[in-house]
Amino acid sequence: MSNSNHDRYDYRPITERPDYHWPDGRRLAIYLGVNYEVFDFGGGLGPKLAPSQTEPDVMNYAWRDYGNRVGAWRLFDLFDRLQLRTTALLNADVLERCPGLAEACRDRGDEIAAHGSSNAKAQGNMVGLREDSLIADVTERLATLGIRPSGWLGPWISESQNTPDLLAKNGYRYVLDWAHDDQPTRLSTKYGGLLSVPYSQEINDLPAIIERHQEAETFAAMIRAGVEQLLSECDRRPLVLGIALHPFIMGQAHRVPALARVLTELREADDPRIWWTTAGDIAAHVEANDMAV
């Protein structure tokens, strides 16, 4: 038997944990985590719509850049119409590369969360001071928007052995990298506890549409089914659903109508069990009431 373990959290089945409520007695917390990302031209990591033939890979680079130039603003219109505040997962390089985009997230009241510097590199191969410096630099740059970010999503969900420790050291309250649960859980670090807030790798447009080759209607059906199932369980336990979106994917003109329909249905149903919120407000509520296991 392997002894390999991360020692970040213990095993405790969801059926054997204390019960608690979200604000106003609600039972299912739903938030939209919207990824605002930049990539390198002529190299670096990046999702691919189709195989690249040469560098610079103009087709895939431009497809990704469409999200910042057009898709994000189309999604803003949808979120405004539905009065939805989101968690904006921002690469810090967006500040220089896409002037006004991060500010638009802030100005519409979205939570600003850190998503590394860019999505052209994964931080998991960084060591020691290099990763610590990256986290500190990203934090300070995003803080120029007016509030210091308290949440982190690693580019490509990439972590080194030290990432949770370094996030806690740099003052982060929560991380979204660990998709191991439907409730917030506490990660052990050298600098105290760090909350893991659920962020779905299933109800996530990038793996659903790009990796599995599904389309918007199927993705919308996944959202419907996920909410339906979680609502059927939430009388027994409080739950979280993070819906992950990328403007260069779901911000495409032919995909927005399906997303709009499902979000409109859920909003108009006005289910008293649902708390429409942000990842940061989930973490703050858990911390204030000392509820995480």
For the domain bounded by 20-40+52-289, which CATH number is listed?
3.20.20.370
| Mean pLDDT computed over 105-125 | 96
Whole-structure pTM value? 0.96
* Overall average pLDDT of the 69-95 stretch: 98
Counting residues of the chain whose pLDDT is more than 70, the rounded percentage is: 99
Is the pLDDT at 290 greater than 80? The verdict is no
- Average pLDDT on 43-64 reads 92
Band of pLDDT at residue 138, cut at 50, 70 and 90:
very high
Share of the chain above pLDDT 90, in %: 90
Domain definitions of the chain by residue range = 20-40+52-289
- Tell me, rounded to whole angstroms, the distance of Cα 125 from its chain centroid: 21
Q: Looking at the chain, how many residues does it have? A: 293
Question: How far is Cα 96 from Cα 126, in angstroms, rounded to an integer?
Answer: 23
**H-type alpha helices, 86-192:** 94-97, 101-107, 128-143, 163-169
Q: Which amino acid is it at 254?
A: H
Identify the CA nearest to 242 among candidates 168, 180, 172. 180
Examine the pLDDT at 25 and tell me if it is beyond 50.
yes
Lowest mean pLDDT among 105-114, 120-129, 176-185: 120-129
* Four-residue CA torsion sign, 199, 92, 80, 285: positive
Among 65-74, 128-137, 265-274, the least confident range = 128-137
Q: Which of 105-109, 139-143, 285-289 has the lowest mean pLDDT?
A: 285-289
Q: What is the pLDDT of residue 243?
A: 98
* Interatomic CA distance for residues 162 and 167, integer angstroms: 9
**For residue 273, how many other CB atoms are within 10 A of its CB?**
15
More confident: 52 or 22: 22
Q: Which two tokens stand for residue 255?
A: 């995909």
- Yes or no: say if 152 and 176 are a contact pair by the CB < 8 Å rule: yes
Phi, psi of 21 (to 5 degrees): -120, 155
Q: Determine which helix (DSSP H) or strand (DSSP E) holds 113, and give its type and residue range.
A: strand 111-114
Model confidence over 193-243: pLDDT tens digits?
Answer: 899 999 999 999 999 999 999 999 999 999 999 999 999 999 999 999 999
Average pLDDT of the chain, as a whole number? 95
Whether the Cβ atoms of residue 113 and residue 281 lie closer than 8 Å to each other: no
Say what the pLDDT of residue 27 is: 98
User: What is the rounded average pLDDT of the residues 279-288?
Assistant: 96
Q: What is the amino acid identity at position 280?
A: G
Residue 1: which pLDDT band, with cuts at 50, 70 and 90?
very low
> What is the average per-residue pLDDT within 158-184?
97
Closest CA to 283 of 176, 189, 191, 201: 176
CA distance 138 to 205: 25
Low-confidence winner among 40-44, 67-71, 229-233 (lowest mean pLDDT) = 40-44
pLDDT at 3: 59
